[in-house]
């Protein structure tokens, strides 16, 4: 059986790892073991951060809708309840966009929710 030297594959994997850790501080960017540890932790934080970003954006949308509905003398919870009773199925992102860029359309939605 012939001998297989696997240095090429390992070198390629190490280069890919070091390319991802470019810009890190100290040994974290150029020592394979430290770089791998740091990269695994960074990827875990990135995953958590993506979930937190969704949560933050939803709360931002709710704040925007609440502020816009208060301008029409209607609290957020009554507004959303009125929309669900009127069977208007717009998500909070679209409602906040309407509140910012189309205030007339948002006013029509408020009147619809009041009925």
Q: What is the mean pLDDT of each run of 10 residues along the chain (115 residues)?
A: 86 94 92 94 96 96 94 92 88 93 92 89
What was the pLDDT predicted at 55?
Answer: 95
Residues of the domain holding 14: 8-114
Per the CB < 8 A criterion, the answer to whether 18 and 29 are in contact is yes
* Cα 40 from chain centre: 20
What was the pLDDT predicted at 115?
Answer: 85
User: Per the domain annotation, does 47 fall within a domain?
Assistant: yes
In the chain, the number of structural domains is 1
User: What residues contact 60, with CB distance under 8 A and at least 6 apart?
Assistant: 96
What was the pLDDT predicted at 60?
Answer: 96
User: Per the domain annotation, does 2 fall within a domain?
Assistant: no
At 74, which CATH number? 1.10.1900.20
User: Per the domain annotation, does 87 fall within a domain?
Assistant: yes
């Amino acid at each position: 059986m012939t001998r297989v030297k696997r240095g090429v594959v390992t070198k390629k994997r190490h280069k890919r790892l070091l390319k991802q850790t470019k810009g890190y501080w100290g040994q974290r960017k150029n020592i394979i073991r430290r770089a791998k540890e740091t990269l695994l932790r960074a990827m875990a934080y990135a995953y958590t951060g993506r979930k937190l970003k969704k949560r933050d954006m939803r709360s931002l949308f709710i704040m925007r809708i609440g502020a816009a509905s208060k301008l029409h003398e209607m609290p957020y919870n009554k507004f959303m309840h009125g929309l669900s009773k009127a069977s208007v199925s717009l998500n909070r992102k679209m409602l906040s966009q309407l509140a910012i860029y189309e205030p007339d359309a948002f006013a029509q939605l408020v009147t619809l929710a009041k009925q």
